[in-house]
Structure 1
Amino acid sequence: MFNWIRDFFDMYPQQPKFSFLFHSHYSHNSNNRLPHADDELFAFLQMMQKHGRLNDTKLIIMTDHGARFSSLRKTHQGKLEERLPFMSIRMPPKFQDQYPTIMRNLRLNSHRLTTPFDIHATFEHLFNFHSLSPYQSKSNRSVSLFELVPENRTCAGADIEQHWCACLNWHNISIDEPIIQQFSRAVVNFLNNFVSDHKEDCATLTLLRVNKASRLEANNHLLKFVQSSDVDGRVPQFRNASSQPLNETKFYQIQFETTPGEAQFEVTAEYDPIKDIFDIQKRHLSRVNKYGETSACVAWKRPEFREICYCSNLLVHTNLSSTVTAAK
C-alpha cells in the first residue's frame, strides 16, 4: 500500500498534493500482528527521506483508535489504549526554522489534551496559513495545534463525552449493588429495542453476567468544567475547589456479557436519581470482543446493528449441531 504513495509522488513531483492512506490489515483484529508493519513503514520513511520528499511534505502518522477486540481491551490499560490513539506530526525543516513559535506550540501540545477535532482545525489553519486575517477556529471545541492548547483543558471543554474521556476518576463498585443490577437490565433492554425492527433476524439477548462495574467521581484536578457546553445540556456540572454544587446525576460504567453469542460490551450511562432512569445511548456503547460473522444477516442492511445483533439463523445451526452430537 505504501507503494501507492511512492507512485503518487513519482507521477506528480512538482504539483501540490494531498494524500490520505488508511491501512488496517495488520492491526484491525489484533495488536499482535502490528509489529509486522514496522519494516514496511521504516522503509517507506527512509525512501521519503532519501528522495528529499520530506523537505516539503507535512507528514502525519496516526491511528483512529486503539485496540478494541482483544483480551487487553478488558483491562484498564486496554481501556486507555482504545481512547488514546497514536498521533505523530512532522513538519518540513524549512517550516520548523521559519516558524519557531508554532513548532514550540506543537511540541507543548503533544503533552496536552487534544482530539481529532483539533487535527481538523490544524488543517483549516494550514489551508488559510497565508491569509491576512489571523486564524480563528470555527468551533469552540477545537484548537489548531499550531496554537497553544490550554493546559487546564478538560474533556467537557474539548467536547469529549464521559465514555471516551481518559481523564476521569472511575471507582470500582460491587457488581451486586442494586443500582448495577438495574443498570444491566436496562442496557440489555436497550440492546433488544435497538434492533427490534429486525427481530426476525436478531435473536433476543439476555444478560449472561456483569464482569465489572464503576462509578464516576469528579477529579478536582482534571474535571474543572462547571457549566454545560453541549446543545442537549447533558454534560453534568462537576465540583471544583469552589463551592459550585455537584450535579445530582451520576455516571456508571459496566462491562458485561450477553447470550446467545457471549458478546462482551462496555457501556457508560448517566443515571438520574430523581427519575430513577438511565440515559443509555448507542454512541456510549463499545463492543469489546470480535463479532465477526455473528451479525452477517444484517451487516449490509443495517450496519449500525453489527456490534449488537446475533443472527437467529445461527441458533438453528447451533441447535442442529447439538442434536447431531446428542444422537451420536
Structure 2
Amino acid sequence: MTVAKTQETSIQGKGEVSAMNRMLLVPFGTLFSLVALAAAAGQQPAMPKYFVNSPLCKMPYVDPFSADVMAIYKKIKLKDCHNDSELVTAEYDPKLKQYRVHTRLDLARKMAKENVTLECGYQKIYRDGNATIPDDAYRMSKVIPLTDNLVVPNDVEYITTRCFLNSSNSKNHKSNITQRDAMTFVQDHLTPEELVHSFRLLNDEQDPKPNVIILGIDSTSRINLRRTMPQVLRFLKNLPGWFEMQGYNKVGDNTLPNLLAILTGDNHVENIEAGKFKVRGFEDSLDYIWQHFKEAGYTTAYAEDCQSLSTFNFHKPGFIRQPVDYYLRPFVRAIEKTLKLERRFETIFCVGRHISSGYVWDFAVQFVQRLLEETPMFGVFWSNSFTHNVFSAGSAMDHLFREYLLLLLKLGLFKRSIVLLVSDHGYRFGNIRTRTKSGYLDERLPMMWLYVPPWFRKKYPHYVANLRKNRNRLSSNYDVHMTLQHILQLNTRSHEAFDARIKAKKCPNCRSLFFELPENRSCSEAGITEKWCTCHPTTTVTNRTQYMAVARAVVQGMNQHLVAKKLTHLCENFQLNSVEVMDRKEILGERSTTAATEHVYVLNFQTVYKKPKFEATVRWNPRSSTLKMNVDELSRKDSYSATAKCVKDSLVKKYCICKKLPGKQHK
C-alpha cells in the first residue's frame, strides 16, 4: 500500500476543508500551511530535526511514514457490527426534559417481509453498591414492557432491550427474528437550588467556569495519529483553538500511571509495584481532579469501554464508591455479560449491535447535549477497544471518530469548553516496537491536543501566547494536571501563587500549560524518569565484550528478582539468547565525571525459553562492572498474553515466562 508522505510544522494555520456530519455541513476557513506553499512552489519542505531542541533536551522528530513502518502498516476498513435496522430508538424531548423511546413497527415489517406485530421490553441496569466489589457488580430489573413513545423515568440511566416479531403465519406466533440492544440516558438529577447555582456559575462574566472534556484514545502516539487518523488530524488543524504539545513525553509504562499523573498529580509507581492497587478501597483514597471540579460546582462523568481492560479495574478491584456523577462502568459490565460479543483487533470490538467505543462516545454526546446549558461539566471519556493491540486499527475508526467530533461541534461544545484529546502512550509491544527504528520514540510520545474556546482566547491572550510557546517545549502529564488545577482558578497569575497542596506531588515544579514552560528543561524537571525520557542522544555500542557483559548482568538481575518475588515456582529462569542492540545515552547537562563513572544504556535483548524480547534501561559502572536496574520497569516488546497466563499481576506479566506445569494450569 502506498501512502503519500506529508510534512508538518509547528506553525498553526487556519482551517481548510468543509466537513459533513450526517445532515450537518460545517464550514471552516482555508488552511495555507507552509507545506502547501512549498509544494505550490515546487519545493520539497525540509523535515524538522527535533520536536524539542534545547541544551537539555533534543527530542528527535519522527517521520510517521518512514519506509520500515509503512512496510508493516496496512489501512483497515471498518466493518459494521450489524446489518439490520434499529427496532428501538431514543430521543431527548427538550420540552419535557426527558427521553422518549420509540419502537419501530414499520421497520420490523420490512425486516420480516410480512404483517407482524412488535413486542418489546427493557431491563434497567444499575450499580450494586452493596456488593463486595461494586465495580464488578451490577443488577438488572425484571423485563418491563416497552411501548411506543415511552417517556423514560428519571431514575432509569441504563437499559437493555429485546424485541420479538409476532406473526400470525407462525405456528407459535413468534418468528425467529429477535433483536437485543442497549441504551444510556444522561438524566438530570439537579435540584432547583442546584440548577440556579449552576446557571450562575455558567454565566459569571468575572469568573467563568469553562466545561472541561477529556477525550482519550488508548495507545495513540502523536506520530501514529498522523498515520492512522488523518481525518481527525484535519479536524484538529482546521478548528482554531487547538494546540498540540509536540514535546509531550509520558511518565509511566501503561495506562494507569500515565492517567493517574493527569488525574491526581502522582503516577503512584511505588504503590503499583507494592501491589496497593489490589487492595479494596485503595483507589477510592486517591485525590482525583474530578473531586476538585465537583467541589467547584461541576457535574462529573467517567466512561471507558472494554471492562476487562478498564484502567481502574484491570486485575484491580476498582472503586467501592461511585467516583463521579455519571459512571458508565456498570452499563459496560452488564452489556458485555448479556449481549453478543465479537472480537476484532485482538480485543472485544462489537458489543451487541454496536462498536464498543461507540457506547463511550454516545455517552459523551448525551452528557454534552443534556447538560451543556445547565451546569459546568467535567468529563473523561476513554476508549481502548480499537487501538489497544493493533497499531494500524485506528485507521478503521478515523472517519467515525471525526463524525463524533463534528457532532460535538454542532452541539456547541467548542463554544465555551476546554477540550483535551489525549492518549496514555504509544504502542508498547508488537511489530512497531520489534521491527521499526521509531518504535522506541512512538511508545514514549503520546498525543496531547488542548483546545481553548473563542471567549478564552479573547479574555486570556497571555495564556494563549504561552500555549504557542509551549508546543515545542518538553512537557509531561504533570503539566496537564496543573493545567486542570489552573482551570479551577484561572486568575492565578503564576505557578508560585498556587497553594502547595494542589501542586503535582511527583513534580512540584511542573506547571500549567497556560504558563510558559522553561525553554531549557530536563526530563527530571518535568517529572520524567530516565526510562521514559526521549531527550538524550544515543550512540550504538559496537564492542561485543562490553554489551555482552551488561546483558549477562541484566539477565542475572532478572533471575534474582524472580527469587525475591517468590516466582520461581511459576516462572522460567532466564538465559540470554541474543543481544539485538545496545545504545548508550548521552545525558545532556550531566557532569563529565558522572558520565565517566556511570553509563546509561538501553539494552534490547532476547532470552531463550519462548524467546521473549525485552528492553531495559540501566545504569552501568564500567569500573566496578556493577548494574543498577529496576526489573519492574522492563519493557516487553512482544505480546505477553500467551506466555504469562499463570500470573495476574500486570507488572509481573511483562517478564514472567510461565513454566509448563503438569495437569491443570497453575492458578
TM interval, shorter chain, is: 0.7 to 0.9
Matched, 1:238 2:238: no
**Map of 1:58 onto structure 2:** 418
Question: What is the rounded CA distance, in whole Å, between the counterparts of 1:166 and 1:15 in structure 2?
Answer: 41
**Map of 1:280 onto structure 2:** 629
Q: For 1:4, give the aligned amino acid.
A: F
**Kindly tell me: are residues 163 and 132 of structure 1, through their superposed partners in 2, closer, same or farther at Cα, counting changes over 3 Å?**
closer
**Map of 1:205 onto structure 2:** 574
> Larger deviation: 280-289 or 94-103?
280-289
**Map of 1:234 onto structure 2:** none
**Kindly tell me: are residues 59 and 77 of structure 1, through their superposed partners in 2, closer, same or farther at Cα, counting changes over 3 Å?**
same
Q: C-alpha displacement at 1:140, in angstroms? A: 3.9
Q: C-alpha displacement at 1:22, in angstroms? A: 1.6
**Map of 1:148 onto structure 2:** 516
Secondary structure of the 1:253 match is strand
Q: C-alpha displacement at 1:210, in angstroms? A: 0.7
Which structure carries more strand by proportion? 2
Secondary structure of the 1:195 match is helix
Q: C-alpha displacement at 1:132, in angstroms? A: 8.6
Q: C-alpha displacement at 1:38, in angstroms? A: 1.1
**Map of 2:400 onto structure 1:** 40
What per-residue deviation string (whole Å, max 9, x for no partner) do you get for residues 25-76 of structure 1? 1111121111112122211110111111211221100111111122222333
Matched, 1:122 2:491: no
**Kindly tell me: are residues 146 and 252 of structure 1, through their superposed partners in 2, closer, same or farther at Cα, counting changes over 3 Å?**
same
Question: What is the rounded CA distance, in whole Å, between the counterparts of 2:601 and 2:521 in structure 1?
Answer: 23
Give the conservation status (yes or no) of the 8 Å contact 1:30–1:69. Answer: no
**Map of 2:656 onto structure 1:** 309
**Kindly tell me: are residues 283 and 110 of structure 1, through their superposed partners in 2, closer, same or farther at Cα, counting changes over 3 Å?**
farther
Alignment of 1:1-328 (within 5 A): 1-13=360-372, 14-74=374-434, 75-130=436-491, 135-136=497-498, 138=503, 139-174=507-542, 177-196=544-563, 197-218=566-587, 223-224=588-589, 237-239=590-592, 246=595, 248-282=597-631, 284-299=633-648, 302-313=649-660
> Larger deviation: 176-185 or 112-121?
176-185
Share of identical aligned residues, percent?
A: 28
**Map of 2:84 onto structure 1:** none
Give TM-score, length-normalised by structure 1.
0.83
Instruction: Quote the RMSD (CA, aligned, Å).
Output: 2.3
Question: What is the rounded CA distance, in whole Å, between the counterparts of 1:250 and 1:101 in structure 2?
Answer: 42
Question: What is the rounded CA distance, in whole Å, between the counterparts of 1:253 and 1:69 in structure 2?
Answer: 16
Give the conservation status (yes or no) of the 8 Å contact 1:294–1:314. Answer: no
Question: What is the rounded CA distance, in whole Å, between the counterparts of 2:527 and 2:632 in structure 1?
Answer: 14
Question: What is the rounded CA distance, in whole Å, between the counterparts of 2:474 and 2:584 in structure 1?
Answer: 23
Q: C-alpha displacement at 1:146, in angstroms? A: 0.3
Give the conservation status (yes or no) of the 8 Å contact 1:155–1:165. Answer: yes
Secondary structure of the 2:654 match is coil
**Kindly tell me: are residues 133 and 287 of structure 1, through their superposed partners in 2, closer, same or farther at Cα, counting changes over 3 Å?**
closer
Secondary structure of the 2:655 match is coil
Question: What is the rounded CA distance, in whole Å, between the counterparts of 2:364 and 2:486 in structure 1?
Answer: 24
Q: For 2:562, give the aligned amino acid.
A: V
Question: What is the rounded CA distance, in whole Å, between the counterparts of 2:444 and 2:600 in structure 1?
Answer: 18
Structure of higher RCO (CA pairs closer than 8 Å, 6+ residues apart) = 2
Q: For 1:2, give the aligned amino acid.
A: W
Question: What is the rounded CA distance, in whole Å, between the counterparts of 1:209 and 1:31 in structure 2?
Answer: 26
**Kindly tell me: are residues 37 and 106 of structure 1, through their superposed partners in 2, closer, same or farther at Cα, counting changes over 3 Å?**
same
Q: C-alpha displacement at 1:9, in angstroms? A: 2.0
Secondary structure of the 1:21 match is strand
Give the conservation status (yes or no) of the 8 Å contact 1:195–1:305. Answer: no
**Kindly tell me: are residues 103 and 314 of structure 1, through their superposed partners in 2, closer, same or farther at Cα, counting changes over 3 Å?**
farther
**Kindly tell me: are residues 304 and 102 of structure 1, through their superposed partners in 2, closer, same or farther at Cα, counting changes over 3 Å?**
same
What per-residue deviation string (whole Å, max 9, x for no partner) do you get for residues 88-114 of structure 1? 000111111111110111121111111
Q: For 1:42, give the aligned amino acid.
A: R
Secondary structure of the 2:365 match is helix
Question: What is the rounded CA distance, in whole Å, between the counterparts of 2:569 and 2:494 in structure 1?
Answer: 58
Give the conservation status (yes or no) of the 8 Å contact 2:645–2:658. Answer: yes
User: Unmatched 5+ residue regions in structure 2?
Assistant: 1-359
Q: C-alpha displacement at 1:121, in angstroms? A: 1.1
User: Unmatched 5+ residue regions in structure 1?
Assistant: 225-236, 318-328
Which structure carries more helix by proportion? 1
Question: What is the rounded CA distance, in whole Å, between the counterparts of 2:509 and 2:551 in structure 1?
Answer: 32
Q: C-alpha displacement at 1:283, in angstroms? A: 5.0
Secondary structure of the 1:190 match is helix
Give TM-score, length-normalised by structure 2.
0.42
Q: C-alpha displacement at 1:252, in angstroms? A: 1.4
Give the conservation status (yes or no) of the 8 Å contact 2:574–2:609. Answer: yes
The structure number with the bigger radius of gyration is 2
Secondary structure of the 2:584 match is strand
> Larger deviation: 98-107 or 21-30?
21-30
> Larger deviation: 109-118 or 124-133?
124-133
**Map of 1:230 onto structure 2:** none
What per-residue deviation string (whole Å, max 9, x for no partner) do you get for residues 237-284 of structure 1? 334xxxx87552111121011121211111111112343201011354
Q: For 1:32, give the aligned amino acid.
A: S
Q: C-alpha displacement at 1:4, in angstroms? A: 1.1
Give the conservation status (yes or no) of the 8 Å contact 1:62–1:85. Answer: yes
